[in-house]
Amino acid sequence: MPPPPPATEPSVHTGSVARRPTLKDVASEAGVHAATASRALNPETRHLVNEETAQRVHQVAESLGYQPNPIARSLKTARSSSIGLIIPDLTNPLFPPIVRGIEDVLGGVGYIASIINTDNDPVRETAAIESLRNRNVEGFILATARLHHPVVERLAAEGTPTVLVNRRLALSDVPSVTGDDAGGVAMAMRHLVDLGHRQIVHLAGPQDLSTGVNRLRAFRQALEDHGLEDSPSRLKLCSAWAETAGAQAVTELLDDGVEFTAVLAGNDLLALGCYDALAERGLSCPDDVSVVGFNDMPFVDKLRPPLTTVRIPHYEVGAEAAHLLLERLRAPGRTARSILLPLTLVNRQSTAPPHRL
């Protein structure tokens, strides 16, 4: 008969099936209470334990192959080092650089982002947020906010750290990071006016989103500033930030016989739709109609002609949103603040002086 195993050998087997060593196994083997072992193994609380004891606990944990359970720890400490990132449409080229900025900042301090694509479906968004809350995420970054958004307002009312990216609410102190839409529209309009355009169409985005509302408001202000007519016939409200919506809007303008020499599109996807509709009618950009977009999403410089557009610093928008959320997590009592980033006009080849003055 072989000699019995020494008393110090860990008991981590049940019958013939090995089980994963637990914190209790570590504590028992190290001769300490489970709470002491937990404090010794947590870098944030190790200083509360005698150094000799902490070293002994670590040696035992290593010998047993013990790995802390991050889910269990998060349930006890209410910290999961994860946040929920809610995106309306990941196929929109606007969002990947925003997401990259968020992830780079969060990853630098040990946080991860759980990314959910909602396809602009409010029911799916609500379900995703509840699911992430059940997983104990510490906060949210949302790019889905409408002007009046009950889910976001509820998160804020409950004190859940929340930051909006590329969106704002109508009446709220929820922190947000957005581009200076008014400044961007003003630059685009001045560019067109300086070229000689006086009949300028605006393709406005959805009016339940801050971006659609703010850019339309800025367009009307620019018309007033330059002494141009605010003609209802030269305004098209688009139901979605989509290429098909832009094409439909320009087709309707042409069918209705509206005279215009330039289009300021509410975003680059609407501008792509302009290209489609003009080409279908045998019209040339910019010879017949100049087009300006908004966002400077990837590859619009590869279009024919390359698109003149207002550039939003997407990566920086995401990075600043992550910084704001971390600020909320570290100092929840601090007054909420929002960030407005400056935009720039990128002058390419889709704009030129009008042939019809």
Q: For residue 305, say if its preceding peptide bond is cis, omega within 30 degrees of 0.
A: yes
Sign, CA torsion 343/289/233/194:
positive
Q: Which residue carries 């910290």 as its tokens?
A: 79
Q: 222-249, pLDDT tens digit by residue?
A: 999 999 999 999 999 999 999 999 999 9
- Tens of pLDDT, residues 19-59: 788 888 889 999 988 878 888 888 767 888 889 998 999 99
Task: Evaluate whether 201 touches 254 at the Cβ level (below 8 Å).
Answer: no
Whole-structure pTM over 0.85, yes or no?
Answer: no
- Per-residue pLDDT at 312 exceeds 60: yes
For 305, the token pair is 């002609």
* CA dist., res. 156 & res. 239, Å (int): 28
Is pLDDT at 139 greater than 80 in this prediction? yes
Alpha carbon of 75 to those of 85, 236, 258, 325: distances in Å?
20, 51, 62, 21
If 0-12 CB within 10 Å is exposed, 13-18 middle and 19+ buried, where does residue 13 land?
Answer: exposed
Average pLDDT of the segment spanning 176-200: 97
For the cut 60, the answer to whether the pLDDT of residue 281 exceeds it is: yes
Residue 73 pLDDT: 52
Please say if the pLDDT value at position 3 is more than 70: no
Residue 286 — pLDDT band, cuts 50, 70, 90?
very high
Of 216, 226, 141, 227, nearest in space to 181 by CA: 216
Phi, psi of 14 (to 5 degrees): -120, 110
Contact 227, 221 (CB under 8 A): no
Kindly state the average pLDDT of the residues 116-138: 91
> By mean pLDDT, which of 13-27, 81-95, 148-162, 171-185 is the weakest?
13-27
Please, what's the largest Cα pairwise distance for the chain?
A: 106
In the structure, what pLDDT confidence band is assigned to residue 91 with cuts at 50, 70 and 90? Answer: confident
Omega prior to 298 cis, within 30 of 0: no
User: Could you tell me the pLDDT band of residue 65, with boundaries at 50, 70 and 90?
Assistant: confident
Q: How many CB atoms lie within 10 A of CB 104?
A: 13
